[in-house]
Amino acid sequence: MKGSKRNFKNAHILIVGSGIVGKFNALELSKKGFKITIADQQKKKNSSSAALGLLISNMYQKSKGRSWELRKKSNELWPKWIKFLKQYNNNLQIEKPLIQLTTKQENFEKLCKFFSHHPRRGLRVLEQDSTIIQSINTIFNMDNLKGIISNEDGRIDPLTLLKTLNIYLKEKKINFIKENIIKIKKIGNQWISTCSNKLEIKSDVIILCNSLDTLKLIDLNFHNIKLKPVLGQAIEISLNNEEINLLSLPKHFSIDGTNFIRTNKNKIIIGSTDEYDIKPKENTFEDLTHFLETKPQWLNKNNITDKWFGIRSRPEGEPSPILKSLEKGLILCTGFYKNGILLAPACSNWVSNEIENHLL
Ligand SMILES: Cc1cc2nc3c(=O)[nH]c(=O)nc-3n(C[C@H](O)[C@H](O)[C@H](O)COP(=O)(O)OP(=O)(O)OC[C@H]3O[C@@H](n4cnc5c(N)ncnc54)[C@H](O)[C@@H]3O)c2cc1C
């Protein structure tokens, strides 16, 4: 017990990767009093800064299994973290509700069935004549939408979240090294990580939060970890039609799996695609709007004013994300595919508990 306390107090943890997952781990572990270093060259935009920030847990159509447990845990932790982080940025918030719509009767029946089996999830069925649906129908020239609304799910703006975490980590004087880690090795009980500028960092524990590039740092002869890239694109449409005011739409909703986030009266973000590649496809617009047989006049390619993508990592042969201790002092918190923003609190909570086994 005495030994473990000593280890805790002096332990140095290196977090590799400063996307949402790396930063959330730094937040959680800094509260435990560890000495923390984060390393990331941040040369390219990461997947966290490309994300839409939808936090779908109550609407998730499963009620058992690991994925549901992680969502449930994150759902429980988010309000606490928002309250805490608001001290560093008062603009941080989760904007509720979340609306899931479909044009297909079969999918709507499934949603209704799920809703009736889960009365405690805070969901409500939206019939075709509801005011919310009417407002979407008007803007999209549709008449066949139905769905559900979740008053407990919502959206966090990922860029505001990342900015807030940066403010916190800077204030707590968390050591940030703007270099990539190119090699890790263990000597005795210590880990030695080599940075791209040849600097060596000694630490007791390494947490790999570097998505696809996790594979470059572990010995794949010993560890059977497989990750594949899944690129996600999003576009922004800007309208110059004074007759259409997007403020009449709900802030965010999805139609047949495509997400819409209206940012002001004439801008709307549409995303995101699932492309098993590292180069973005050309026909994003068509992919994202295929559910519309006839597109309203404002929804056309000429109105695209911004376009971006992020590359997520999807584990092969095991579920996403990978939360695993590979050996003493080496923890993986990686392989976040679609819901890294949502799951960051639950996964860093897992790491925070797991790390105790590494420091005994
Ligand atoms: C278009 C789009 C929409 C999305 N929408 C949502 C959504 O609505 N809700 C949601 O929950 N999730 C969403 N996601 C998924 C979410 O963005 C990811 O699951 C999440 O960002 C993963 O975070 P991460 O920190 O693991 O990875 P990343 O953000 O990719 O960060 C990994 C970091 O590791 C660094 N790195 C790599 N190699 C090294 C190295 N050798 N040394 C040091 N650092 C290194 C990289 O520079 C990078 O900064 C979306 C993703 C995309 C692309």
The CA R_g of the chain, rounded to the nearest whole Å, is 22
Phi, psi angles (nearest 5°) of residue 47: -70, -30
Grade residue 242 by pLDDT with cuts at 50, 70 and 90.
confident
Distance from the alpha carbon of residue 20 to the mean position of ligand 1, in angstroms: 7
Q: Name residue 223's amino acid.
A: H
Q: How much is the pLDDT for 128?
A: 87
pLDDT tens-place string over residues 191-211: 999 999 999 999 999 999 999
Average pLDDT over residues 58-85: 96
Edge to edge, the sheet with strand 322-327 lists 175-177, 35-39, 12-16, 205-208, 330-334, 322-327
Show contacts of 79-88: CB within 8 Å, 24+ apart: 81/27, 81/345, 82/156, 85/161, 85/164, 85/165, 85/168, 88/164, 88/167, 88/168, 88/171
Tell the residue nearest (CA) to atom 37 of ligand 1: 210
Pocket residues: Cβ below 6 A from ligand 1: 16-22, 39-40, 42, 46-48, 50-54, 180-181, 209-211, 213, 232, 234, 271-272, 310, 312, 336, 338-342
Calpha distance 297→17 (Å, rounded)? 42
Average pLDDT over residues 115-142: 93
Q: Which domains does the chain have, with CATH numbers?
A: 2-87+158-226+317-358 (3.50.50.60), 97-151+228-315 (3.30.9.10)
Residue nearest to atom 42 of ligand 1 (CA): 180
Taking the model in full, what pTM does it have? 0.96
**Mean of pLDDT values over 267-282:** 95
Map tokens 């069935």 to a residue.
113
User: Under a CB-based contact definition with an 8 Å cutoff, are residues 357 and 325 in contact?
Assistant: yes
> pLDDT of 331-345, one tens digit each?
999 999 999 999 999
Average pLDDT over residues 28-54: 95
Query: Is 338:15 a contact under the CB 8 Å cutoff?
Result: no
